[in-house]
Amino acid sequence: MLRMVPLPMLGRNLQVYQYDTYDQSIVDARVAEFRDQVERRLSGHLTEDQFKPLRLMNGLYLQLHAYMLRVAIPYGTLSSTQMRVLGDIARAYDRGYGHFTTRQNLQFNWIKLADTPDILEKLAKVEMHAIQTSGNCIRNISSDQFAGAAADERTDPRPWAELLRQWSTFHPEFSYLPRKFKIAVIAADEDRAAMRLHDIGLRITQQDGVAGAQVYVGGGMGRTPMIAPLVNDFVPLSDLMSYLEACLRVYNRYGRRDNMYKARIKILIHEIGVDKYRAEVAEEFAHIKTLGIDPPQAEFDRIAAFFADPAFADTTADAPVDRSDAGFAAWLDQNTHAHKRAGYTIVTISLKPTGGIPGDASADQIDAMADLAEAYSFAELRVTHAQNIVLPHVRSADLRAVYDRLVAIGLAEANLDLITDIIACPGLDYCSLANARSIPLAQKIADRFADPVRQRDLGELKLKISGCINACGHHHAGHIGILGVDRKGTENYQLLLGGSGAEDVSLGKITGPGFSEDGVVDAIERVTDRYLAERTDGERFVDTYRRIGMEPFKEAIYG
């Protein structure tokens, strides 16, 4: 029998999952399969209608001007080697850019169909793929971008996410679900992954010394946003795959096929009620558990070993960081987080420079971030759902060097979680479903609030823009959300207040009549002015909104 053979591609001593020959053979076979499918499409043996679900399951969308390829970055973790290959692909096959997305993936917006098998082959060589980044299947698993580094986590959620990645890859029963299916896993109290806005959200916990997960089911955004209710307070690791199969089987059997807008699991649970859903899952679970489909603890342990701590230096004697440069100090305050290890810091690189496209990075910037990871962060990077990049393990003594390098490549914006750290979907510039442009609006807002002192004074303010009701830009979960609508053939924007995708999850409410592009920027300014007038000490925008309600803001906007 073939034994597990670690492959040498990514180099040793990396804290990312590394393929063995089994993983590699599956991903290689996928590339060959897609090459075959593309050939059959190009030679006319497959109609576009038949080809569509196949290409979607390989992350290939047809957009307004070209194909878009969405590359999976499982749970947002990647090595510098992988990052560099993304830069190479951007250069060779795209127009020199990659776009980091709200699901911790990367999109290339200018791809040729005939090139995609070669691109997938390049990805496979560094243990990457585009499997299930689209289509009505279980999508790329998302997680906390600070996993394995955060001071507040109970455990590293990534071994769980990798277990789920393998279980969900080419799942024979769940590849033609009623609708797409998104799973997020976290293991901290702070929710940095919008866990309850996923079809299934898992929070890793322990009960009596046994590791397991709280299971939330039926969240989602789109046209009918819903916050996932708790379906099971504790499923032990040893039952988790069986339990998830039960959750999905109930959905696959009952989920609606007649109306794609009502096909998400959130609608099923809303229609039958969470109690009935829970009972059906319990019954299904009792049966599935007898089939022996849960991997053993040894498999979890094998995976978890890849995510062991890197070789941290003894940093107890490090000198304190010199904060005398105001620009550097502002960046430290805004873009770094506490690390679980004293003497180390988590750095977030903002991909939201004023005037830029949220989430975009040039091939050169991608390479430069890979260099930084190699020099200062154990060759590891993360992608965040807010479309930024994380260097998870930076020695505090190196922060100044990292900052200087970021200044040189134009990525030192000190705006994490501030009003200019905007999430925006591709909108009318790329997307065939769009009602309105998102990117130019994001740029206008960033311009209006460009003054760093003003931004910092406004404090944490998550602003999210979607170009249509599908909500790819998470507008429902923005402290301030903007939704592009079509009003008698012209672009119009609705404003929402009070949403959150974090542990204080909530859905935003529409303020009232919509605005033109300039009108909505003015309206936001009236909203933030009112907040400044009303806030009490230490209140974030969303806290003030929750305390005083919509009325004062409405009055400020509409007079």
Partner 1 sequence: MVEALRLRDDAAHDEPAVTLDAFLGQSNATAVRIEAGDDARLLLPHLDRLALIEVSFPKFRDGRGYSAGRILREAGYTGELRAEGDVLVDQIPLMRRCGFDSFAPAAPVDPAALERALERYDHVYQAAADGQVPVWKLRHG
**Positions in the binding site for partner 1 (CB under 8 A):** 1-2, 4, 20, 22-23, 25-26, 29, 32-33, 36-37, 40, 45, 50, 53-54, 136, 166-167, 169-178, 241, 249, 252-253, 257, 287, 291-293, 295-296, 298-299, 302
* Residues pairing with 142 in the sheet: 184
> Phi and psi at residue 185, in whole multiples of 5°?
-125, 130
Give min distance, CB of 265 to partner 1, in A. Answer: 14
Q: State the binding partner of 120 from partner 1, ligand SF4, ligand HEM, none, CB within 5 to 8 A by kind.
A: none
d(CA 191, CA 144): 7
Contact call for residues 336 and 348 (beta carbons, < 8 A): yes
Other residues' Cβ atoms within 10 Å of the Cβ of residue 36: 11
User: How is residue 420 annotated by DSSP?
Assistant: T
Question: Can you tell me the distance from the alpha carbon of 101 to that of 78, in angstroms, rounded to the nearest whole number?
Answer: 14
Of these, 425, 445, 480, 502, which contacts ligand SF4 (CB under 6 A)? 425
If binding is defined by CB under 6 A, does position 472 make contact with ligand SF4? Answer: yes
| DSSP per position, 452-505 | HHHHHHH-S--EEEESSTT-TT-GGGSSEEEEEEEETTEEEEEEEES-B-STT-
**Beta strands at 183-186 and 106-111: parallel, antiparallel or unpaired:** unpaired
56: Cα within 13 Å, side-chain hemisphere: 17
Does 425 engage in binding with ligand HEM (CB under 6 A)?
yes
3-state class (DSSP) for residue 402: helix
Binding string, 325-364, against ligand HEM, x = CB under 6 A? Answer: ----------------------------------------
Minimum CB distance to ligand SF4 smaller for 82 or for 466: 466
Find which of partner 1, ligand SF4, ligand HEM, none residue 63 binds, CB within 5 to 8 Å per kind: ligand HEM
Q: Shortest CA distance to 348 belongs to which of 290, 295, 280, 414?
A: 414
Task: Report CA torsion sign: 241, 178, 68, 29.
Answer: positive
Using CB under 6 A, pick the residue from 123, 419, 434, 480 that binds ligand SF4. Answer: 434
- Selected range binding ligand SF4 among 130-138, 411-419, 467-475, 491-499, rule: CB under 6 A: 467-475
Per the CB < 8 A criterion, the answer to whether 401 and 321 are in contact is: no
Question: Which of these ranges, 276-284, 318-326, 423-431, 524-532, lies near ligand SF4 under the rule CB under 6 A?
Answer: 423-431
* 307 or 430: CB nearest ligand HEM: 430
- Of 462 and 530, which has the nearer Cβ to ligand SF4? 462
Shortest distance (Å) from residue 425 CB to ligand SF4: 3
> Smallest distance from the beta carbon of 196 to ligand HEM, in angstroms?
11
Pair 419, 445: CB distance under 8 Å: yes
Q: Running DSSP on this structure, what letter comes out for residue 133?
A: S
Query: Which residues lie across from 220 on neighbouring strands?
Result: 226
The reply to whether 197 sits near ligand SF4 by the rule CB under 6 A is no
499 binds ligand SF4 (CB under 6 A): no
Q: Which of 102, 132, 168, 384 binds ligand HEM (CB under 6 A)?
A: 102
Number of residues this chain uses to bind ligand SF4 (CB under 6 A): 13
Q: How far is the CB of 200 from partner 1 (least distance, A)?
A: 16
Nearer to ligand SF4, 229 or 427 (CB): 427
434 or 480: whose CB is closer to ligand SF4? 434
Residue 107 partner contact from partner 1, ligand HEM, ligand SF4, none using kind-dependent CB cut-offs of 5 to 8 Å: ligand HEM
If contact means CB under 5 to 8 A according to the sort of partner, which of ligand SF4, ligand HEM, partner 1, none does residue 65 touch?
none
Residue 355 C-beta-side C-alpha neighbours within 13 Å: 3
Q: Among 321, 409, 433, 550, which residue interacts with ligand HEM (rule: CB under 6 A)?
A: 433
Q: Is 157 in the site for ligand HEM (CB under 6 A)?
A: no
In this complex, which beta carbon is closest to ligand SF4, that of residue 109 or of residue 214?
109
Contact call for residues 540 and 460 (beta carbons, < 8 A): yes
Q: Which residue from 215, 263, 383, 468 is in contact with ligand SF4, where contact means CB under 6 A?
A: 468
Q: Are 150 and 144 in contact (CB under 8 A)?
A: yes
- Residue 459 C-alpha from the chain's centroid: 23
Interaction between residue 427 and ligand SF4 (CB under 6 A):
yes
Question: Is 470 among the residues that bind ligand HEM (CB under 6 A)?
Answer: yes
Sheet containing strand 77-79, edge to edge, reads: 77-79, 380-383, 389-395, 344-349, 336-338
Q: Does 177 bind ligand HEM (CB under 6 A)?
A: no
SS3 409: coil
Q: Within 206-245, which residues bind ligand HEM (CB under 6 A)? A: 220-223
Q: Rounded to whole angstroms, how far apart are CA atoms 308 and 14?
A: 9
Q: Phi-psi bin for 222: left (phi > 0), alpha (psi -120 to 50), beta?
A: left
Q: In what order do the strands lie in the sheet with 480-487?
A: 423-424, 463-466, 480-487, 490-497, 509-510
Note whether 18 binds ligand SF4 by CB under 6 A. Answer: no
Kind of pairing between the strands at 344-349 and 389-395? antiparallel
Kindly report the three-state secondary structure assignment for every residue of 31-45: HHHHHHHHHHHHCCC
Identify the residue among 473, 481, 498, 501 touching ligand SF4 (CB under 6 A). Answer: 473
Draw the binding track, 59-98, toward ligand SF4 (x: CB under 6 A; -: no contact). Answer: ----------------------------------------
Residues engaged in binding ligand HEM (CB under 6 A): 61, 63, 101-103, 107, 179, 182, 220-223, 264, 425-426, 430-431, 433, 470-472
Residues engaged in binding ligand SF4 (CB under 6 A): 425-427, 431, 433-434, 466-468, 470-473
